[in-house]
Structure 1
Amino acid sequence: MIHLNNSEREIARGEECYDPWCKVRVMLDLVNQKLKLQYVPSRNLSIDESMIGMKNRVVFIQYMPNKWHARFGLKKFELCDSNEYVNHLEIYAGKELDTQHDGGQAYGVVERLMREGNVLNKGYHLYTDNFYTKPKMAEFLYNHKTLLTETIRANSKGLPQGMNQKLQVGETKFWRRYDCDMLALSFREKRIAE
């Protein structure tokens, strides 16, 4: 039996300062520390989630139907650069154990990964999908000298009302906010089967 942490010092579930990953926290922190020491990420970064496939009987198992390779497993969030190098990773323990953030879960994940990855205020460019995208987050990153390019859901809070209207084939719309250099672009490239 290999133990990575002293079980006698574990804080019980439900108590203050409980860490769901206490059994592997030492290794997880060491891995994240070494990832940053060995490599300086390229300018283009990406944040996404992936699954470590498993069907064990633990409370942390997540179900993600759109992940074809592993629908059940441990969910992890990763900050990677364009060379596919992981700069920082975080394992998700479930909604009830996740750190709550005023901007929502996606905003909190991006903020934590960018801070822990030590890449804010350094001129990086972050790419994300529509799960992580919020205009409020774009403003936060801009204020920390980080560019953001992403897809966004039409019903996302903070977008102007005209951006979620159905467009004709070949039609485009854009909206610009000058105080934080934000540009939203909506286009329809081809006809969708209805």
Structure 2
Amino acid sequence: MNTKESKPKKSTFKKELLQWGIIFVIGAGLYTTGYHTEVIGKLQSMLLYTGILQPNTEESIIHGNKADYNMPLLTLDGERTSLSEFEGKTIFMNLWATWCPPCIAEMPNIQRLYDDIDNENIVFVMASLDEDPQKARDFIARKGFTFPVYSVLTKPLIYDSSVVPTTYVISPKGDIVMEHRGMAKYDTDDFKQFLLSISDL
């Protein structure tokens, strides 16, 4: 009787081993090609689609913190600029990186937000933290995103978040009115209205 029972157990064990082997090979293949980040990001974007993770513009308000505009940036074309170029406008600034799955997950909804906001007083600064600016250039070109992307040359202490992505909204008066750590769904009517109300201050 023991001999009869051992055969199904061996068969089940072989199937499980084969399944785990396939998962490992797929995972290793994705990792070595660098596509694991995008696959994880795609899965996380499905979570964002549900609308569960939305920025709370009321709880996120930082009282008394002023923006630091002394933040040198590099455009995708390799030209040096600074956050100070946008002083006096509402700034939606997202710190992201190509190696960050949650960053990749929220980018499509940020692109939709950017497409929907038609206001010259609101600017987008998608600030890449990649050490090699070329990685950001290649990624944006491959994905076809059209929002303004910059490489961060020096990050002021006020934006030194340990979480990537982190998004800041800066008012025209230079107040940091929102800081959201982690991914979120930004292309909502509530958040659009929040941005527009800040630009009217």
More helix by share: 2
Q: Which has the higher strand share?
A: 1
Larger Rg: 2
TM range (shorter): under 0.3
Higher relative contact order (CA 8 A, sep 6+): 2
